[in-house]
Structure 1
Amino acid sequence: MKIKYIITAVICLLFLSSWDSREKMVIDIAGEWSVQLDSTDSGQKNGWQNMSFKQLMKLPGTTDDAGLGVPNKLKPSLEKLQMSHLTRKNSYLGAAWYTREITVPNNWKGKEFILKLERVIWKTNVWIDGNELPSEQNSLIAPHYFDLTKYITAGKTHRITIRVDNRKLFDISVDNMAHSYTNETQIIWNGIIGRMEIEAFDAVRIANLQVKPEISTGSAKVKVTLNNSSKNTKGILSITAVNKKTKISVAALQKEIQIKTGESVVEVDYNMGKDIKLWSEFSPELYELKAELKAGKNQSNSSVDFGMRSFSRKGSVLTNNNEPVFLRGTLECDIFPLTGHPPMDKEGWRKVFGTARNWGLNHLRFHSWCPPQAAFEVADEMGFYLQVELPVWSLKIGQDQKTTDFLYAEAQRMINEYGNHPSFCMWSMGNELQGDMTVLTKLMNSLRAKDDRHLYTTTSFTFEKGHGDWPEPEDDFFITQWTKKGWVRGQGVFNSESPTFNKDYVASVEGMTVPLVTHEIGQYAVYPKIDEISKYTGVLEPINFKSVKEDLERKGLISKAADYTKASGKLAVILYKEEIERALKTAGISGFQLLDLHDFPGQGTALVGLLDAFWDSKGLISAEEFRQFSAPVVPLLRFAKATYTNDESFTASLDISNYSDAVLKDQEIEWSINDGNTVVASGNTKSAVSIGYNHKILDINESLQKITKAAKLTVTVNLKGTNYKNQWNIWVYPQKQTLDYGKVVYTRSLDEAYKFLKAGKKVLLNPDWKKIKGIEGKFVPVFWSPVHFPKQAGTMGVLCNPSHKALADFPTDMNTDWQWWDLNVNSTTLITDGVEGGSPIVEMVDNFANNRKLASLFEGSVGTGKLVIASFDLATDLDKRPVAKQMLISILKYMNSESFNPEAIKNPDVLKSVLTEQKEKGKEDAKSIY
């Protein structure tokens, strides 16, 4: 037996040695090309296929890189055109011709030649020495290939001319919003990016190589597509696999095969041996499968990377290698502001995936596009689960047969080019598709029949009537923001329901038979970070950011810009945290897809990220803090509310989400409650934490009687000896407090306030918030973008100075936190642009499409009188609303103190227009934005 193993090893080594000694025969045609734009489509008629041009540019590259096209003439302004997205410095839509000479090596005699252009928008035609090749290519997501065999000759120099037309060929999206063809995120560039090469082959060659891992049998099914341009022949096919980390190779397989003329397919079962290393997020073990074909004088070799993994489902739970998986994901919408197109090298993608991993994610969804080869390679190496989509976001699926045919062709190209990658786990037919859903089901089923290495879904959510709230019958998994039983994302509940941290979406997913992934959760707008403007050194100009900056400068508000970003961003952080934790708490949910961890600079400048469009932090929360609630293991506390009085107890139970690769045996768990200076209460326990969701690890029940003044407390849970911990804020107010108005006169009438002020009184004006003019008070900020959804009530959270003495007895940070919910939703935000003098105590950050001066608590003196205006409800059911009562107590203490010396309001009559009464309006519904 030993002799047999030695012989096998020697054969394998000889095979590998022979493989490594042969290099592919490739001409790299990257470099300097001459270029001519053809906006009138007159190039072919005028013989441009036989010409070179005066203008030079580098390929790979784009006309934007070269500064060609129509220069931008837009000036900053808060208009929709300027605010829709980043602006191309130079735009071009139409045909462009690229040409250069190439010399074919002498030793390529008798070879066949394939031209590869890795990525193009949208259509290419090729001429050699003025002779047009009969085919044209039109893929948005796969390389364009041309057979040059009949057109070039070894040892000769030829002129190669490529015509690229970036105009829309098929109706794949409304308003060009699909991210494969858009100016919203990437741009509709003209040019060629990625690899540009001509490869020489023998007449008999391996044209494609596909590997399907079978972990249950310890084998890989290998499908080899052969191309034979000569007569029928015989050949020897050799296959081996090498672990890319250990360099240990699996025993080679050799098979004698018959090779027909034309295209043929050979399938073999390849035994991976006993010591198989499985691919996962925790152990991204990769193999390189190498195939060599010898058929007489013809030789061909090909290699692909693959992973031994089985990404599947067990009922409503996603699994990888039979272990449960929870997807912690965000979207990648082809957002690369310096180039306007995706990186074609691995380094560019290491920034994306490395940052995502640092922020606790294990999953990326490619919204309505498919990334290039380099992205899959990095995801393979780092252990990321990818959801890839066809390049479509259409409301008219099935209406145009040519578009449907294009999608079928693109899907086959995706299988051929990217199907082997273990990171390619999930496949959606597109984003929010509408139309004939049976067309999508037929397409999906045809792909699954061809390639079952991935899980499939009909669409990433849909608004199509009768669909979208429950899976389609053939779906492997389901992506949605709501089911027929209720919401599964916070957008629908955070503003309408008082804060509670013991809720989940179990009722909404009851009866779900496939894994559910929550669709585009978040979308909480953050105010533009003005100092980001200097980062835009590439082909795109941030006219949208500059428009906001100029508007702030004109209004004298530029000094507040950084605070606007910080305050709105901190609010977004607390909402993203609760979004993620509710998803984690729900049995029957297998993951979330954020929109977004990083900014989306299109569709109305949707700055919904905690990172900017460059994947850099905005400084709102650290990656380490974010990982407290987005990690393989997350402590999750269930408790009823955010605010308490000190005659109550804080009652909570601890769950732990464990989607790591190991049971935490006999894990010590510590908890504490801290007021910022001292530990108020603490405890610990030991427990085994199984893989999956662990309910009721421990209970906490602590009296709050020892809290004698208003305080913010932090509850922390720590898994000792690990990096896993989490924390939550609660607020406690003394229950036995009396309202002491002292010398303050309280009124709800402006006319009455004027009389008291004229008499030199201290006046707290608290008008009925339901009846005054202004903006609907909301806890949540602008959804997505105030430009894209302009009808929504549009504020972006509280901005205050926590050390202002009016807030001395109302513990707060400078931004909204959960204790502000009652005050914010029971208020009308005042527009104070016309008020001269006075000053806000509590501002509301306006959306960046308006940049108004807003306040919900404002102070000023009028004559000899002193005034505070509160536009939130300080009158109703104060015994049942401890937050409102505490705010009133704090305001009154301030107004009765010597510190109450507000700046004069120079035009007090303007308050009549600020506080104009109007007909009571209803609350905005969460779905009304659509």
Structure 2
Amino acid sequence: MQIKHIVLSVLFLFFFSSWDSREKLVMNIAGEWTVQLDSTDIGLKNGWQNSSFKQLMKLPGTTDDAGLGVPNKLKPGLEKPQMSHLTRKNSYLGAAWYTREITIPKNWKGKEFILKLERVIWKTNVWIDGKELSFEQNSVVAPHYFDLTQYLTPGKTHRLTIRVDNRKQFEISDDNMAHSYTNHTQIIWNGIIGKMEIEASDAVRITNLQIKPDISSGSAKVSLTFNNKTNKSAKGILSISAVNKKSKISVETLQKEIQIKAGESVVEVDYNMGKDVKLWSEFSPELYELKAELKAGKKESNAAVDFGMRSFSRKGSVLTINNQPVFLRGTLECNIFPLTGHPPMDKEGWRKVFGTAKDWGLNHLRFHSWCPPQAAFEVADEMGFYLQVELPVWALEIGKDQKTTDFLYAEAQRMINEYGNHPSFCMWSMGNELQGDMTVLTKLMNSLKAKDDRHLYTTTSFTFEKGHGDWPEPKDDFFITQWTKKGWVRGQGVFNSESPTFNKDYVTSVEGMTVPVVTHEIGQYAVYPKLDEISKYTGVLEPINFKSVKEDLERKGLINKAADYTNASGKLAVILYKEEIERALKTAGISGFQLLDLHDFPGQGTALVGLLDAFWDSKGLISAEEFREFSAPVVPLLRFAKATYTNNETFTASLDVTNYSAAALKDQEIVWSINDGNAVLDSGSTKAGISVGYNHKVLDLNESLQKITKATKLTIKVSLKGTNYKNQWNIWVYPQKQTIDYGQVVYTRSLEEAYKLLNAGKKVLLNPDWKKIKGIEGKFVPVFWSPVHFPKQAGTMGVLCNPSHKALADFPTDMNTDWQWWDLNVNSTTLITDKIEGGNPIVEMVDNFANNRKLASLYEGSVKSGKLVIASFDLTTDLEKRPVAKQMLISVLKYMNSSSFNPEAIKNPDVLKSILADQKEKGKEDAKSIY
């Protein structure tokens, strides 16, 4: 009892020290509470509303923070429970009771009392001194508010009890994958996070303040909601003032006499922002603070909000900011915060997110199936980020349950009330990949448009619903998709099936589109886990998925390969992301892209698709500066036909420049060069005016390649002199007049013949028909999203080789896949070489991390007195039309005919019979088949 008395005394002092009466009368009720879990729902029956509990816990916080719930018992293993997502160290699902005593200041007499709990999952009930409030709160995106006026007495101490139930209340997601309610990234935590406070106010008060800017008139429509609990009409003086938060220049104050009806009422006022009003955009994120003050007799109330004078709109199929074209360079935020399992509720945490995104050239974030807290909007406002926010839903049966539909309407209204003023809140989607009754979504969207036209709206962020998803819904302001009825608008559908070309765009796919198109979740190229990331998980989540991969590699003796696997797969992802972005930029009618993702998504099958990890830290695959070469307000874009050439051809290209900066670039000097890594082979410059928007054919290049006498990688660089804007591309040039000299090497497609030749001491190049042998389909693109979530796909993650291996001396390559590998990769079958004892791979393929097999497409070894190279890509068909395959063959033969060819012995050569066994010829995997 004595300990309890001390604790309550400390809490009593804490309340008073955190109460600041100089502004609003607010009591901070954060601190230590007592807590009791109630998984069997016996609390109410047993009178817990009248009790305190033995277990202490800090709020804001979660039961995971406190180590409460069911401890994890999962051990590492490559099974779905371990690999599906990060693992909670302690899990709890059900009701939890939180209680403490509060003392109400004596000078709060005659006030109204409002309890605010900023963010909760999912339902809350409140008791004061054992008396239950007659209503509950149900929201996953907005604060829970409770009117405590009838229950609190100034000068007295009361017991405040809150019951939080984090069980699913409505069907807002399929398999709990919506990022508002999930264990895949954010966890289904129990607790309260963010602000916890009781505000005291007069009986006539401003309860909501909404501002609609009008840049054409230089004014703002101010809408004020009043709550008059005096039961009679009241006269009052309303004062409205604004100040630019950066310059501190004030706007003239407006005063107006108003009549405030009893109960709730709304008053609208037009407020002139003056002649020198500053507009908000990514280039000038000018913020104003607007204050509204009401004096009604002795009763006073005030409210203040930040807002921006901006118009985020569209002109036909082009998005605009303040009537200027804008291109969204975006990625997703899927509630990925591995240390806490929930989003930051302070600005510091969001500065890391937006600051990193901006450093990597982005200006846009999409919040996939959730709405962020206040702090996120505040930071985005300050930095000039365009946000797409979504209702907390990812469901496949929209409209089936009326209670869920009603909940979405209510959540939408709460989002307007809480976050609608933020200038960064530019776009609003009803949810992610929604399916079901699309008319229900259209009706919901139209109701929101009628209430709040400060944002652009779309029915859903893409959909697989039959008859939908390939063209906008009738009332969409913008359209998010991965394909249209005329074709793909992302590389997933073309990069593996079409030979590399850099003069293509998606103009045909969007022809006839009347609203702006934003490409949906482009990328999703899996990168092998970066295992040294494990030590960064010091919070409530354990990376058992990462540990499972690490243990598997250790067991197989491959742990020394882990870093190479990450680098090789990651650098392949880089080149694919670059081309994804550039194709979108090259397409008139596309107004932006949304990557999935710049950073890792450690859930939904461990989808490590990022160039950054889940902590927004770089993996070292490409620098932010290099990424900004193709993701920036101004991007030079080179159009050319292919990646590989012979030296009797001419390299022909044209330069386009996208300029979505704040102004045109007049008389801009453009500098270009072509180099081979050692010397500049050619260069030049020209001057041109770069207008805002898309600039086509600014420069033409026609360069003879005759001076290239050996296989060479060339780099074409373009820069805009006097700016930081530049870009570069690689091509590969091979001598056209080359003789294929087998020398001492015997070529065969038959394993049986190879055995005989090896027994006779021959050098053998075994090149079996790749269409008929066992193995994995050869692909240029890596695993899509996750080999755990999409297990049916052919799952490799790109080339891994040693560029200095003498077999590749005449085949210029890096350690990873680049565009010149396309022909070899798609015309191959990847061999599974686990069972080979001895020998060595020359060209490996990185396996997906759900299997971690030894894979290769070029393997060497000695058998008895003979020496062998196995090539599982096509080195025989139409070589004069396939210069890359011809060059690989030439390089391999030169090596095999040299004294350097002395491979390690294969101790069990008979195993090749099972590895190279015939199988029924399979067709190529279709890009849509993974779904």
Task: Please state which band the TM-score falls in when normalised by the shorter chain.
Answer: over 0.9
Looking at structure 2, the residues matched to 544 and 573 of structure 1 have their Cα atoms a distance apart, in angstroms, of 24
Q: Which amino acid aligns with 1:152?
A: L
The residue matched to 1:890 in structure 2 has which SS?
Answer: helix
Task: Give the Cα separation in 1 of the matches to 2:677 and 2:520.
Answer: 37
Cα offsets for 1:781-829 (capped at 9, x unmatched): 0000000000000000000000000000000000000000000000000
- One-letter amino acid of the structure 1 residue matched with residue 156 of structure 2: K
What residue number does 2:500 align with?
499
Deviations 1:14-62 (A, max 9, x none): xxxxxx9941100000000000000110001101001000000100000
Q: 1:114-172 CA distances to partner (integer Å, 9 max, x unpaired)? A: 00000000000000000000110010000000000000011111110000000000000
Query: Which residue is equivalent to 2:601?
Result: 600
1:659-738 residue pairs with structure 2 within 5 A?
A: 659-738=660-739
- 1:37 maps onto 2:37 in alignment: yes
Paired position in structure 1 for 2:167: 167
Which residue number corresponds to residue 129 of structure 2? 129
- 1:306 aligned to 2:278? no
Other structure's SS at 2:756 match: helix
Q: Which amino acid aligns with 1:40?
A: T
Q: Secondary structure of the residue that 2:250 maps to in structure 1?
A: coil
Question: Residue 3 of structure 1 corresponds to which residue in structure 2?
Answer: none
Q: Can you list the C-alpha shifts for 1:430-487, whole angstroms capped at 9, x where unaligned?
A: 0000000000000000000000000000000000000000000000000000000000
Return the TM-score normalized by structure 2.
Answer: 0.98
Alpha-carbon separation, structure 1, partners of 2:276 and 2:810 = 65
Question: 21-30 or 722-731, which moves further after superposition?
Answer: 21-30
For residues 379 and 423 of structure 2, the distance between their equivalents in structure 1, rounded to whole angstroms, comes to: 11
Distance 2:178 2:775 in 1: 37
Deviations 1:645-704 (CA, angstroms, capped at 9, x unpaired): 000010000000000001000000000000001011111000000000000001000000
Mapped partners of 1:236, 1:613: distance in 2? 51
Aligned to 2:356: 355
Show the counterpart of 1:744.
Answer: 745
- Quick one: distance in 2 between partners of 1:779 and 1:275? 55
Say whether residues 1:111 and 2:149 are aligned partners: no
Letter in 1 for 2:612: L
Tell me the distance in 2 between the aligned counterparts of 1:651 and 1:85. Answer: 47
Q: When the two structures are aligned, how many residues end up with a matched partner?
A: 911
Does the alignment pair 1:835 with 2:842? Answer: no
1:470-489 maps to which residues of 2 (within 5 A)? 470-489=471-490
SS in 2 for 1:252: strand
For residues 714 and 902 of structure 2, the distance between their equivalents in structure 1, rounded to whole angstroms, comes to: 32
Partner of 1:781: 782
* 1:222 aligned residue: 222
The Cα offsets for residues 177-223 of structure 1, whole Å up to 9 and x where unpaired, read as 00000001100000000000000000000000000000011100000
Structure 1 distance, partners of 2:175, 2:361, is: 34
Aligned to 2:5: none
1:338-381 per-position Cα deviation (integer Å, ceiling 9, x unaligned):
00000000000000000000000000000000000000000000
The Cα shift of 1:267 comes to 0.2
Provide the residue aligned with 1:646 in structure 2: 647
SS of the equivalent of 1:852 reads coil
Alignment correspondent of 1:543 = 544
Query: 1:89, 1:28 → 2: CA distance?
Result: 30
- Aligned partner of 1:867 in structure 2 is 868
1:12 corresponds to which residue?
Answer: none
Cross-structure match for 1:73:
73
CA distance in 2, matches of 1:918, 1:329: 44
Aligned to 1:251, the other structure's residue is in SS state strand
Q: In structure 1, how many angstroms separate the alpha carbons of the residues matched to 2:367 and 2:159?
A: 38
Return the letter of the residue paired with 1:681: D
Amino acid at match of 1:879: E
Structure 1 residue 232 displacement after superposition: 1.1
Q: Which residue of 2 aligns with 1:524?
A: 525
Counterpart in the other structure of 1:318? 319
Q: Which residue of 1 aligns with 2:14?
A: none
Within 5 A, what are the aligned runs for 1:270-285? Answer: 270-285=271-286
Q: Distance in 2 between matches of 1:442 and 1:114?
A: 33
Structure 1 ranges of 4+ moved more than 4 A: none
Match of residue 846 from structure 1: 847
User: In structure 2, how many angstroms separate the alpha carbons of the residues matched to 1:677 and 1:401?
Assistant: 68
Structure 2 match to 1:157: 157
Q: Hey, what's the Cα distance between the residues in 2 that align with 1:645 and 1:755? A: 37
d(CA) in 2 for partners of 1:23, 1:143: 21
Q: What is the match of residue 512 of structure 1?
A: 513
Residue type at the aligned position of 1:100: R
Structure 1 residue 750: deviation in Å? 0.2
Alpha-carbon deviations, 1:73-104, whole Å to 9, x = none? 00000001100000000000000000001111
Counterpart CA distance in 2 for 1:242 and 1:298 is 25
Ranges in structure 2 where 5+ consecutive residues have no aligned partner: 1-19
> What's the secondary structure of 1:278's corresponding residue?
coil
> d(CA) in 1 for partners of 2:260 and 2:674?
74
Percent identity between the two aligned chains? 89
1:563 has 2:564 as partner: yes
Determine the C-alpha separation between the residues in 2 that align with 1:500 and 1:232. Answer: 72
Amino acid at match of 1:176: N
Residue 111 (structure 1) shift: 0.2
Query: Per the alignment, do residues 238 and 22 of structure 1 end up closer, same or farther by CA in structure 2, a change over 3 Å counting?
Result: farther
Q: What secondary structure is seen at the aligned counterpart in 2 of 1:40?
A: coil
- Indicate yes or no: 2:98 matched with 1:101: no
1:919 shift after superposition: 1.1
Q: 2: distance between equivalents of 1:437 and 1:302?
A: 39
1:229-250, CA deviations, whole angstroms, 9 ceiling, x for partnerless residues? 0021100110011000011110
Q: Distance in 1 between matches of 2:39 and 2:430?
A: 33
Equivalent position of 1:10 in the other structure: none
Tell me the residue number matched to 1:373: 374
Distance in structure 2 (CA, Å) of the matches to 1:120 and 1:360: 33
Q: Which residue of 2 aligns with 1:900?
A: 901
The one-letter code of the counterpart of 1:99 is: T
Quote how far apart the aligned CAs of 1:549 are: 0.2
Task: Give the match for residue 188 of structure 2.
Answer: 188
Match of 2:3 in 1: none
Structure 1: give runs of 5+ residues left out of the alignment.
Answer: 1-19
Q: CA separation in 1, counterparts of 2:351 and 2:516?
A: 29
CA root-mean-square deviation: 0.6
- Map 1:2-13 onto structure 2 (within 5 A): none
1:715-771 deviations in whole A, cap 9, x for unaligned?
Answer: 000100000000000000000100000000000000000000000000000000000
* Equivalent residue letter for 1:527: Y
2:709 is matched by which residue type in structure 1? T
Partner of 1:7: none
Aligned partner letter, 1:655 = D
Deviation per CA, 1:499-521: give whole Å up to 9, x if none. Answer: 00000000000000000000000
Q: Counterparts of 2:30 and 2:366 in 1: how far apart (Å)?
A: 31
Local SS of the residue matching 1:174: coil
Residue by residue over 1:387-441, the C-alpha shift from the partner in whole angstroms, topping out at 9 and shown as x without a partner, is 0000000000000000000000000000000000000000000000000000000
- For 1:758 and 1:917, the matched residues in 2 are separated by 23
Distance across 1 between alignment mates of 2:141 and 2:358: 25
Q: How far apart, in 1, do the equivalents of 2:111 and 2:921 lie?
A: 81
Letter aligned with residue 221 of structure 1: K
Partner of 1:822: 823
Q: Which amino acid aligns with 2:860?
A: E
Residue type of the alignment partner of 2:855: L
Q: Secondary structure at the match of 1:889?
A: helix
